[in-house]
Structure 1
Amino acid sequence: MTKTESGERPARLHLLGALCLTDAEGRDFTPKSRKAQALLALLALSPRGTRTRIWLRDKLWSESDEGRASGSLRQSVYELKGALKGIDAGILTTERNALGLDLDRLWVDLRAIREGGGALPAGVDPDADLLEGFDISDEEFEDWLTMERSAWERLRENLTTAPPAAADALAPPDAPAPRRMPRVIEIGLLPGIVHGGLRSGAFIGDYIIESVARALLDYHPVQIVDLREAGEAEPRPGEPDFLIRTRTLVVGDTASVSFLVYENGTNTLVLSQSMQTRQKDFYEDEFALTNQFVAQNVDHLAKIIGGTRDGPSGIRNDYSALIGYGVLAGMFDLDPGRMRATTEALDRLNERTENSLFPSLGAYASSFALGENIGGWDRARRERTEALAMDLLQANPFNSIALACIGHVMGFVLDRHDIAADIFGRAVRLNPMQAFVWDHLALHELYCGDLDRARAASDRAVNLGKYSPISYTYETTACMVATLSGDHARAVALGRRALLKQPRFNAAMRYTLAALGHLGERAAAQALGAELLRLDPGFGDRETREMRFRLPCREASAHVLEGIERAGF
């Protein structure tokens, strides 16, 4: 009996309380072994119900070698198949590299709560613990279970009880609940106001407002509503949540443009930024100055959106802390706990939306962990990251941030710099206003050994990202390029600027230390080196130092390591 034949899912899985697998009539088909039960739980709570075999082996047999772990996984799959065969053999799908559950055939209590926006189905105990009394002697599984229990605790705080008619205690819903995302923030584009120089002033205004909208869409799943053709002269009540417009004044050769943001409903002006320059400066160097103004306003507007909470207009953005800058800031916070929380958030968002940004950021999180030595990195993790990156590449996302993430994974992690070069080219063409894209193009050029191109891209990233919460990462890339180019004074200045904003950023510390060594500033180098060793004790070992610098050629590595030695380390 399948869902399409009966109108309901034939199997029910209870994860709150003791794990229990039943058919629609309540008969128990729970697998006997703990590992088979754990396998079922891992799949049931995974994005889209699917995990790679490597990931599952790591969670259940992390201390076994690959051969033994693969054999144990096959045995647990056999046991799980046997249990599900009594209900619906089609629930479990097995492929060479992955396992999955058909969630159209299997009702899962915790997923039903999440998909229902926190509504508690009848018959589910809100006080029950997730996988109550469950114990698997594997630290990786225990870590996963701890995080899932924490997520359940957070969800439980906002539960609502479903009305009696909404669900039957013994039967799952007739149809799968639709994806339920918090309401998307809506931004309306108003016609620009132009004083003098009508044609050029209108072009400048339209370029800025459209560029802001396009750049914001790369980071945030906002909805853009173009009201310019509708002739909206003034902010209007009701939707959208925010209204943006430009005001341009052209006098002779000089143009002044203001970017304005209103909170709709209250007609409150929440942002006003202006720039004034010669008209030709707006267009020179591929709109470099104008793009910097665009990036500044995107950063500011993103922070406004991220801070929105039930204001006078009733705006609410429940997932604002999880998108855009929030995710990247979580990665660069350099805290393993926050990195895990960020990864969890990405998994949930990836499960609830088709936006290519979230899985791309997930792949990037792995590459960042490799670069900053957060967490272990082994062949299995590399394989997982490669599989995810290739899947995303085949999906062909039209998002410059997503492409930059994938390009960095392909080059930095997988050493496929030829593929990475093409991806970065697409990313820059899609949106030349994104500092994040230019910064990772700079890293790519650095790893390929072209320091001139790396510096050009890095300078653009630093200029575009002056107001970004992760601006110190762009300054760190510039510090790396300057160090390898022999411009050590500039490298120190950039590194110190980055460390003022993020004192624990190891990459900035390493390259600044090397530059100080080349400059002969021994006292400053000793102080910085001591702090670096406190954060990264392994850096005192020569072989470990060589591993920390993933550089394209022996001469580049030798130059940096020589600076470290001159600094006294």
Structure 2
Amino acid sequence: MTDAPRLRLHLTGPFRVETSDGELRTPVAAKAQGLLLLLALSPHGEHTRRWLQDKLWSDRAPEQGAGSLRQVLRQTRIAFGPEASILQADRQRVAIDLAAIEIVSEGHGELAEGLDARDPEFEDWLAMERAARAEAEPVPPARLALRTGLAATGPPAARRIRVQAAPSDEVAVHWLSQLVADGLARHLRERLSHEILRRDTGPSDGDLAIRIDGFRETGARVGLRVTLLSGAEGQQAWSGFRFVEQRGTPAIDDPQVQQLMVEAASSVETAIQARFGQGDPRAVDTDPDLLCRAAVRAIFSMAPEQLLSADDMLRRASAIRPHAVYDAWRAQIRVIQSVERHSGDPRRFRAEGERFGRIALEADPQNATAAAILANVHHFLLADSAGSLEFAERSVRLNPGNPMALWARSTARLYTGDTKLADQDALRGRFLMRTSEFRFFWDLQQFATSMVLGRADDALRLAQRASAQCPIFRPPHRYLTALHAHFGNEAGAVAQAERLRRLEPDFSIDRLLHDGAYPASLIHRAPNLRIASLASLV
């Protein structure tokens, strides 16, 4: 790390690198310039070697791409001269020291004007970055009002939600209540653009307040009660309670406690809808958190047209009051569109998913949902299992009780060989989402780990549950076709295939079995699954 930048990267107009004295250090090769641009626009100034190869040498075999990357790294270090150490690389990753460079994006012209790295993947990525910058240009107030439907006075101010822990004479109970209040405030900050106040004293702000009470019931048994109060008079809008075993250290990691926090956070969103969304027909269109709530419900419908509507709602929410979770959910939409094989260009889904995921984590590096969804982007869109696991681990460290974090880490672990740990994450995530209307998404994750662990009976039950909760969700139908055939239920397998064909007209059992790009790889990873029974239906 350094005290002052040693190199300056100019992104707008012709791409160039210069020293603090104005001496040019720009590599001559377009691929080298493209490499620096990819690193400079990364949240942490780094990418895996494989990801960079896929962006700059997508038309070459992995060995050729690796050799070309090594050559470009040498060329770039030579161009940097005495500052060559700014570019760092090991066997897995390439990075630039962001503390040693100044990234300049002001000025006229487009991003990396005239840069031609001669690779379709890079060109798609660069086109999306340029479009994002054009979309992010300041909008005159009159146009903003037109775009979002807001009055000329601008967007509504963020409301306040106060989270407080009641004091307790017993130290262990007191600290458990405090930690639950801290954790619940973290959940709310990850989900809402409202102002979350973490304080235990002071008057009500007239909006929403959450109170956590703890008490020792008997022996090691501690009770927790969370109450949501609405309005200046403090009317009770929701309450929940749990009993946990606690000896000494506060039981903040207990699944019951984490489940209570998830349910309380969801109750706040419901209360916002009830308190501020009723009686004002414009409220949903002007409050970004109400827009986001409606968008998430649309996302988990899994309906193609609803996903497009959700994307527009999230775009409008971000225009009113930016928040990392809005862009994160836009990235998750691209993941779903890709896995569900919705109409559209898969390369666009990949480029947009990556862009929105990166923007979200840049906006809030501490947001566990943003990190989890970026992990999903790396797994499903970029085929980067190592990167997926890294972001998923980060997400769980930020918030161990975030259900999407556990979903993402379960997926990453499943595809990096830690199937038993993946199953533990899936089980915990399902438990946290026990009362959620979106539980089917977590049911399907434990279905996946059950398949790979050879628990075909559990897999069948979980896939049927997911399908019953969301009948147009395509993955359960894919796997139920195989599972019914495995158990000798030929009529059930044929019926599932027909349901899937109505959702996905180009589906065929032959594709399910033999198309390596078709999103049903667990069929071939499940031990003892009778593939021959499925093949007989072709």
TM above 0.5: yes
Unaligned runs of 5+ in 2: 1-106, 114-125
Which of 383, 401, 404 is the aligned partner of 1:436?
404
Change in Cα spacing, 1:222 to 1:447, as seen in structure 2 (3 Å) is same
1:561–1:380 distance in 2 versus 1, CA, 3 Å:
farther
Match for 1:404 among 354, 372, 375? Answer: 372
Q: Distance in 2 between matches of 1:508 and 1:373?
A: 14
- Residues 463-520 of structure 1: per-residue CA shift (max 9 Å, x gap): 1111223211000111122122210111122122222221111112222332333233
Map residues 110-149 of structure 1 onto 2, 5 A cutoff: 110-114=143-147, 117-119=150-152
Distance 1:270 1:282, change over 3 A: farther
Report the 3-state secondary structure (helix = DSSP H, G, I; strand = E; otherwise coil) of the residue aligned with 1:190.
strand
Alpha-carbon deviations, 1:331-387, whole Å to 9, x = none? 221222211111112222333434222222222211110011112233344334444
Matching residue of 2:228: 261
Match of 1:187 in 2: 161
- Go from structure 1 to structure 2 and tell me whether the alpha carbon gap of 1:563 and 1:261 turns closer, same or farther (over 3 Å shift): farther
Equivalent residue for 2:213?
A: 247
How do 1:169-208 residues align onto structure 2 when only pairs under 5 Å count? Answer: 180-192=154-166, 194=168, 198-208=170-180
Q: Which residue of 1 is the match for residue 333 of structure 2? A: 365
Structure-1 separation of matches of 2:439 and 2:512: 28
Secondary structure of the residue aligned to 1:468 is coil
Q: Give the aligned partner of residue 184 of structure 2.
A: 212
SS in 1 for 2:506: helix
Q: Which amino acid aligns with 1:321?
A: L
The residue that corresponds to 1:225 in the other structure is 197
Query: In the alignment, what sits opposite 2:288?
Result: 319
How much does 1:412 deviate?
Answer: 1.5
Describe the shift of the 1:307–1:320 C-alpha distance in structure 2 as closer, same or farther (beyond 3 A).
Answer: farther
Shift of 1:396: 6.2
Structure 1 residues 284 and 393: alpha-carbon distance in aligned structure 2, compared to 1, 3 A threshold = closer
Aligned to 2:237: 270
Task: Tell me: CA distance 1:113–1:553, structure 2 relative to 1, closer, same or farther (3 Å).
Answer: closer
Residue equivalent to 1:136:
none
CA distance in 2, matches of 1:284, 1:509: 40
Q: How high is the TM-score relative to the length of structure 1?
A: 0.64
CA contact (8 A) 1:442 1:477 kept: yes
SS in 2 for 1:188: strand
Residue 241 of structure 1, CA deviation: 0.9
Report the 3-state secondary structure (helix = DSSP H, G, I; strand = E; otherwise coil) of the residue aligned with 1:375.
Answer: coil
* Residue 444 to residue 105, structure 1, CA distance change in 2 (3 Å): closer
Q: Return the offset for 1:308.
A: 3.0
SS at match of 2:531: helix
Q: CA deviation at 1:458?
A: 0.7
Question: Which ranges of structure 1 fall in alignment gaps of 5 or more residues?
Answer: 1-89, 120-176
1:171-196 Cα distance to aligned partner (Å, 9 max, x none) = xxxxxx9xx433323211234154xx
The whole-number CA distance in structure 1 between the counterparts of 2:468 and 2:439 is 11
Residues 1:186 and 1:481: Cα distance change in structure 2 (over 3 Å):
same
Match of 1:459 in 2: 427
Superposed CA RMSD in Å reads 3.5
**Equivalent residues in 2 for 1:9-28, closer than 5 Å:** none
When residues 203 and 458 of structure 1 are mapped into structure 2, their CA distance, relative to the original with a 3 A threshold, is same
CA spacing shift, 1:333–1:252, aligned 2, 3 Å: same
Counterpart-to-counterpart distance in 1, 2:243 and 2:192: 29
Change (3 A) 1:182 1:513: farther
Q: Which amino acid aligns with 2:175?
A: F
Provide closer, same or farther for how the CA distance between residues 422 and 552 of structure 1 changes in structure 2, counting only shifts above 3 A: farther
2:172, 2:249 within 8 Å by CA — same for their partners in 1? no
Residues 105 and 111 (structure 1), Cα distance of their counterparts in 2 relative to 1, 3 Å cut: closer
User: For residue 205 of structure 1, what is the amino acid of its counterpart?
Assistant: S
Give the Cα–Cα distance (whole angstroms) in 2 for the partners of residues 102 and 423 of structure 1.
27
3-state SS of paired residue (2:500):
helix
Partner residue of 1:535?
503
Using the alignment, how far apart are the partners of 2:533 and 2:265 within structure 1?
38
Distance apart, 1:531 and its partner CA: 2.1
**Does 2:254 align with 1:287?**
yes
Percent same amino acid among aligned pairs?
A: 18
In 2, the alpha carbon distance for the partners of 1:438 and 1:186 equals: 29
Q: Distance in 2 between matches of 1:431 and 1:295?
A: 11
Tell me the amino acid that sits aligned with residue 110 of structure 1. R
Specify which of 499, 506, 528 is matched with residue 474 of structure 2: 506
* Contact persistence 2:160–2:195 (CA under 8 A): yes
Answer yes or no: is the 8 Å Cα contact 1:525–1:567 preserved in 2. no
Verify: 1:470 aligned to 2:438, yes or no. yes
How many residues align? The count is 411
- How many angstroms does 1:553 deviate by? 8.2
* Cα shift at 1:277: 3.5
Q: Is the 8 A contact 2:368 2:399 kept in 1?
A: yes
Q: Distance in 2 between matches of 1:112 and 1:309?
A: 20
Contact kept in structure 2, 1:91 and 1:101, CA below 8 Å: no
Amino acid at match of 1:271: W
| 1:182–1:319 contact (8 Å) kept in structure 2 | no
**Structure 1 pair 531/280, CA: closer, same or farther in 2 (3 Å)?**
farther
1:473, 1:498 within 8 Å by CA — same for their partners in 2? Answer: yes
Displacement of 1:102: 10
Distance change (3 Å), C-alpha of 1:567 and 1:258 = farther
Pairwise CA distance, 1:568 = 3.8
- Give the residue type in structure 1 aligned to 2:144: R
Secondary structure in 2 matching 1:432: coil
Task: Pick closer, same or farther for the CA change 1:262–1:286 going to 2, 3 Å.
Answer: closer
Alpha-carbon distance in 1 for matches of 2:138, 2:259: 51
Q: Deviations over 1:110-133 (max 9, x none)?
A: 3353479333xxxxxxxxxxxxxx
Aligned to 1:342: 310
Higher-Rg structure is 1
Query: Aligned with 2:243: secondary structure?
Result: strand
Q: CA deviation at 1:242?
A: 1.0
> 1-side partners of 2:524 and 2:504: how far apart?
24
> Within 1, Cα distance between the matches of 2:399 and 2:139?
42
3-state SS in 2 of match to 1:461: helix
Q: Which whole-Å deviations, capped at 9, do the CAs of 1:126-175 have from their partners, x for residues lacking one? A: xxxxxxxxxxxxxxxxxxxxxxxxxxxxxxxxxxxxxxxxxxxxxxxxxx
> What SS does structure 2 have at the residue aligned with 1:539?
coil
- Which whole-Å CA distance do the structure 1 matches of 2:322 and 2:429 have between them? 28
Letter in 2 for 1:295: V
- Determine the C-alpha separation between the residues in 2 that align with 1:348 and 1:563: 50
Does the residue aligned with 1:181 lie in a helix, a strand or coil?
coil
The question of whether the paired residues in 2 share the 8 Å contact of 1:184 and 1:222 is answered with yes
Give the Cα separation in 2 of the matches to 1:531 and 1:278.
47
- Taking structure 1 as reference, are residues 94 and 294 closer, same or farther at Cα in structure 2, changes over 3 Å only? closer
What SS class does the counterpart of residue 184 from structure 1 fall into?
coil
